[in-house]
Amino acid sequence: MAVYLFYFFVFPGLLFVAIAGAFLSWFDRKITARVQFRKGPPLLQPFYDFFKLLLVKETILPKNGSPLLFLLAPVFAVFGAVMAGVFILLPLFNITTGFKGDLMVIFYLLTIPSFSYIIGSLASGNPLAAVGGSREMKLILSYELTFLLVIAGIIMKCGQQFDLYTIIQTQQAGSPFIGSISGVLLFIAGIFCIQAKLALVPFDMPEAEAEITEGIFIEYSGSAYALIKLAKYIMFFILPAFMIALLMNGFRLEGINILWAVLKVILMVLIITLIRNTNPRIKIKQAISFFMIWMNLLAVIALVLIAFGY
Amino acid sequence: MGFKNYCFKKSLWVFHFGGASCNNCDIEILDCLTPRHDLERFGILLVGSIRHADVLLVNGSINKRDKERLLEIYHQAPRPILVVAIGACGCTGGIFAEGIPFAGPVDKIIPVDAYIPGCPPKPEAIIAGIVKLVNK
């Protein structure tokens, strides 16, 4: 029992993913600043933001909404993100849980943050938040199928294995899945799904600052917003880690391989950040057709290629 | 208390309220966020919603209709909130001070923590004002 609590709260769980995600979010902001020829924030900026929101600011509850749901939604978001993080990171750090089929659990847990943002935004009683919530809903409907097809492709590539530990071991014994044509196609589809899951710029219509002023988070302030920031930091670490586990060989934890593991995470975040900085925000209709037609087509082609053994 | 204060000073998020402005101050405020002056070095971000803000920047002359909006925005902000009046119109009223629709400079409506005069103030002056505000 104690070891599970340790897993959840300290090592692959809350503390570790939060700190790693905060540093990655600093990296994201720094790269964004360098792309725009600025200097960028200091290293500890995400921690200052988080502790300022948590300790200093006042939390305002909505008068016309449902305060209980409004406050519980960020807690659910953090819980879902940490839970998904534990399930992803335990196999990555070579700790077997003996749980066959955790891939499906991860898939469902990764949608919990988005769903709780929708619940929180609808509970706040703000019309702009409702617009953001409906956009987030449409975004989920469009990218979930692609994400599921990517995972299905990995399962087919690995010989009908549903657990992440076996997938990582298969790659480490043979070659990483990204080293084939179908692997590259799955990687492209997966990167765009991550971009939409993180609500970063080509797909940031739920929280468009200029248009609907932060959309789903418009009414959040103080410690509730701090928890949302925490969930965002965690998602920023675990989604690249998930892609690394699925396609890029996972982590190996001896000698020089630790450096490779860190570089892989940084590379993934760099790709996401560069996509974010070189694209405009698209309309929700364009996002739906982008995922429903093009990304699904890409993933289906990858599935066909896998069936023929490429 | 020291830790809380330190975090607060290191991450000021700014909400920009433009009154009946001639847009010069708006441009100078945006200039602070551009590569040359880059206020994100100090953790200062421009946010879209008043619920996330720590600093309320007010510029432009405040007329009778703006006054209601300014009061509403000020009451919607989570405490602690700092208010900065930017430009001659925000600080004193400038050339509009004797106009009929003018509803008083900003400090007659809400308490102001820092004044940055100028028509418009240079970005350097705005940064100097923010530094003084942080060190207060």
Q: B105 CB contacts (<8 Å, ≥6 apart)?
A: B62, B85, B89, B90, B91, B92, B93, B97
- Residues A246-268: tens digit of each pLDDT: 888 877 777 788 888 889 889 99
Q: Which of A31, A51, A57 to mutate to test the interface with B (most CBs of B within 10 A)?
A: A57
Does B24 fall in a domain? yes
Mean pLDDT, chain B, whole residue set: 86
Does B4 fall in a domain? no
- Residues A98-132: tens digit of each pLDDT: 777 788 888 889 999 999 999 988 888 888 888 88
Structure tokens at A154: 């990995």
Q: A127 CB contacts (<8 Å, ≥6 apart)?
A: none
Between A6-20, A44-58, A131-145, A235-249, the lowest mean confidence (pLDDT) is in A6-20
Does B5 fall in a domain? no
Please tell me the predicted confidence (pLDDT) of residue A270.
92
Please tell me the predicted confidence (pLDDT) of residue A214.
79
Confidence of residue B32 (pLDDT cuts 50, 70, 90): confident
Does B96 fall in a domain? yes
Residue of B nearest to A26 (CA): B43
Q: How many Å lie between the alpha carbon of B54 and the closest alpha carbon of chain A? A: 8
Structure tokens at A187: 């990687």
Domains identified in chain B, total number? 1
Confidence of residue B33 (pLDDT cuts 50, 70, 90): confident
Domains identified in chain A, total number? 1
Say whether A214 and B47 touch across the interface (CB within 8 A): yes
Q: How many Å lie between the alpha carbon of B36 and the closest alpha carbon of chain A? A: 7
Q: Calculate the alpha carbon distances from A20 to A92, A113, A126, A232, A265 in Å.
A: 15, 18, 33, 12, 10
Specify whether the CB–CB gap between A203 and A196 falls below 8 A.
Answer: yes
DSSP string, A95-132: -----TTHHHHHHHHTTHHHHHHHHHHHHTT-HHHHHH
Neighboring chain B residues of A59 at a CB cutoff of 8 Å: 78
Please tell me the predicted confidence (pLDDT) of residue A27.
92
Neighboring chain B residues of A219 at a CB cutoff of 8 Å: 49, 51
Does B3 fall in a domain? no
For the cut 80, the answer to whether the pLDDT of residue A8 exceeds it is no
Does B106 fall in a domain? yes
For the cut 80, the answer to whether the pLDDT of residue A150 exceeds it is yes
* B116 three-class SS: strand
pTM: 0.89
Q: Which of residues 42-61 of B touch A (CB under 8 A)?
A: 43, 47-49, 51-52, 54
User: Buried b vs exposed e over A229-257: b needs ≥16 C-beta within 10 Å?
Assistant: bbbbbbbbbbbbbbbbbbbbbbbeeeeee
For the cut 70, the answer to whether the pLDDT of residue B1 exceeds it is no
Following CA atoms A142, A143, A145, A150 in sequence, which dihedral angle do they give, to the nearest 10 degrees? 160
Say whether A214 and B79 touch across the interface (CB within 8 A): no
Neighboring chain B residues of A60 at a CB cutoff of 8 Å: 51, 76, 78
Please tell me the predicted confidence (pLDDT) of residue B48.
83
- Residues A21-47, mean pLDDT to the nearest whole number: 89
- Residues A224-252, mean pLDDT to the nearest whole number: 88
Does B95 fall in a domain? yes
Say whether B11 and A48 touch across the interface (CB within 8 A): yes
> Which domain range does residue A152 map to?
2-307
> Which domain range does residue B65 map to?
10-134
CATH of the domain at B124: 3.40.50.12280
d(CA B134, CA A108): 45
The interface predicted TM-score of the complex, written ipTM, equals 0.86
- Residues B65-97: tens digit of each pLDDT: 888 888 999 988 888 888 988 888 888 888 888
